Amino acid sequence: MKRAVRGEKALPDNNVSVTALSFTEYVMSGQRGRINIVSEQRGMYLTDDPKVCGFYNPIRDAMRRAVNSTEPELELKKAILNANRTGQPRAFEEIADGFLPWLASFRATGVPVEPATYRVGDLTLKVRPHLGLRKKDGSTYAVLVHTKEVPLTREAANVGLRILQHTIDETLPGATPMVLDARRGKAYQMPARTNLGKLDVLIAAEAMGYVTHWQLSGLFESVRAV
């Protein structure tokens, strides 16, 4: 039913593929917003226009540079000054305001991470931790970074954390999974008492819902185009 796969693999024709972070955004949205989210993500993943996607890529790249920089604030400032899309300067400033204090308090440096995929039925999740971090005691962390304006919920964070747990041997062996809400400088780790079996059931159910929404959105678009 579910399995982690190293690297990028060819997918069956009926398989839907999105990033783990996009899936967590779907999980944390209300029922009324889910169809809109899937429609937006279909447009992003199926387009050949690079302008449609990658809104947060410059600031995430700056964050990766910042974790190994003696002046991390300068790396984020460069991304803010170079922001040229509507809404980017404000968004990048808010991310910097949350991320930099958190990074200073966490006291870690960057380490490489590898991509993996995690399959749940007809949904394939691309798992690409945005950051790999190592503290002075040698402990490591594989981090998904939430950058959107809407605050990350604990439920969505747990979904992201569980997906990271399933793929940690491929992305950063031995690391602790972490999901960071960058704008609020709030990091989540899996609570010790989490019922992982129930969480896996939730992920499987949400994956089925995502695929259904994706397929129906495509059907609606094809009918509307006729």
Q: How confident is the prediction along the chain (226 residues), in pLDDT tens digits per residue?
A: 455 545 444 434 457 888 999 899 888 887 667 777 787 777 666 665 555 458 899 999 999 999 999 999 999 999 999 999 999 999 999 999 999 999 999 999 999 999 999 999 999 999 999 999 999 999 999 999 999 999 999 999 999 999 999 999 999 999 999 999 999 999 999 999 999 999 999 999 999 989 988 887 765 444 344 4
- At position 9, the amino acid (one-letter code) is K
Letter string b/e over residues 47-60, b meaning 16 or more CB atoms within 10 A of that residue's CB: eeeeeeeebbebbb
Q: What is the pLDDT of residue 73?
A: 98
Q: Using CA atoms, how far apart are residues 62 and 42, in angstroms rounded to an integer?
A: 27
Q: Which of helix, strand or coil describes residue 60?
A: helix
Angle at 210 between CA 168 and CA 50, to 5 degrees: 75
Q: Using CA atoms, how far apart are residues 20 and 9, in angstroms rounded to an integer?
A: 16
- Whether the Cβ atoms of residue 128 and residue 135 lie closer than 8 Å to each other: no
Q: Where are the beta strands (DSSP E) in the chain?
A: 2-6, 16-19, 108-110, 116-120, 123-127, 131-135, 140-146, 176-181, 186-188
